[in-house]
Amino acid sequence: MIIGFIGLGIMGRPMAKNLISAGYKLVVYDKFVKFDDLLALGAEGASTNRDVASRSDIIITMLPNSPHVKEAVLGPGGVIEGIKEGAIVVDMSSIAPEVSREVEAALKTKGAAFLDAPVSGGEPKAVDGTLAIMAGGDKKTFDAVKPVLEKMGSSVTLVGDTGSGNVVKLANQIIVALNIAAVSEAFVLAAKAGVDPVKVFDAIKGGLAGSTVMNAKVPMILDGNFKPGFRIELHIKDLQNALDTAHSLGVSSPLTAQVMEILQALKTDGMAANDHSAIARYYEKLAKIEVRK
């Protein structure tokens, strides 16, 4: 089995490395970044997305947003031009659910299958292979690629038909964004009241308010470390997809809209490339205090 991997950024690169470490033969390509380190580990390089597809049984895409996936798969020189009958495309990007369905329909005309399988966990879990993977598609396709997905994630779940994986990812991203905002608001309050934020963290992380988000992001906030594991600009993209999907379904999402405005304010302040834990900086600016050790 040969796996093609398209998109070798913050998330895709360590995911590809985990597949190489697991013994899979990879053909890799990224239009924008070099991947010499993967070639040194034994991967083969490709010249185009079409080239990847023509040499692979399973093609994984890990790209920023819906337009990038459509270009890579359906555009000129794209996967669809080189894909073999019976091959499977697994899109692990976080995109709009309707685009997943559009891509699947196009691939079906070539006799190829599709799975949308976005991930949660950020760069640290991509590196250690413990991502949460939420997949949408038919069970036969899922079962065929599950062993591959398990080399990149500790939790691999089929959640429904095509597009369902991205619906679940949108729900995940709403929860993560609101959680970071709540944590930021609470810790800025505590710091402004003169309570040591380190002790606040120690006191509440084991209680009902504790969460994976708190455990991952509060240490970054306390250190003033906003190096991206997941960039603000990408969370803006996810929340926009969430709001668009919600509006198309007649679902009101007022809290999501509020956090979106916070993220947009941070982007305007030049923090688009910062980690989404920098939501804390929005509250710090308003309160004129920093939450630090």
pLDDT digit string, tens, across residues 9-63:
999 999 999 999 999 999 999 999 999 999 999 999 999 999 999 999 999 999 9
* Residues 194, 128 share a domain: no
**Residues 156, 190: one domain?**
no
Q: Give the CATH number of the domain where residue 210 resides.
A: 1.10.1040.10
* pLDDT in the model for residue 173: 96
User: What is the separation, in whole angstroms, between the first and last Cα of the chain?
Assistant: 50
Local structure of 209: helix, strand or coil: coil
Position 151 in a domain: yes
Identify whether residues 96 and 119 lie together within a single domain. yes
Q: Count how many domains the chain has.
A: 2
| 186 and 144, same domain (yes or no) | no
Is 169 among the catalytic positions?
Answer: yes
pLDDT tens-digit readout, 200-228: 999 999 999 999 999 999 999 999 999 99
Compute φ and ψ for 35, nearest 5 degrees: -140, 35
pLDDT (mean) for 72-85: 98
At 229 the pLDDT is: 85
**Which of 17, 125, 169, 217 is an active site residue?**
169
Q: What pLDDT, in 10s, does the model give residues 231-253?
A: 999 999 999 999 999 999 999 99
Domain end position, chosen among 161, 194, 209: 161
Buried-state track 74-105, b at ≥16 Cβ within 10 A, e below 16:
bbeebbbbbbeeebbbbbbbbbbbebbbbbbe
Task: Give percent of the chain above pLDDT 70.
Answer: 100
Reported as a pLDDT band with limits 50, 70 and 90, residue 122 is confident
User: Do residues 185 and 201 both lie within one domain?
Assistant: yes
Considering the domain architecture, whether residues 148 and 32 belong to the same structural domain is answered as yes
Q: Note whether 14 and 146 are same-domain residues.
A: yes
**Boundary-marking domain end, from 142, 161, 180:** 161
CATH number at 72 reads 3.40.50.720
Q: What is the largest CA-CA distance in the chain?
A: 64
Assess whether 209 and 141 both reside in one domain: no
Its domain, for residue 78, covers: 2-161
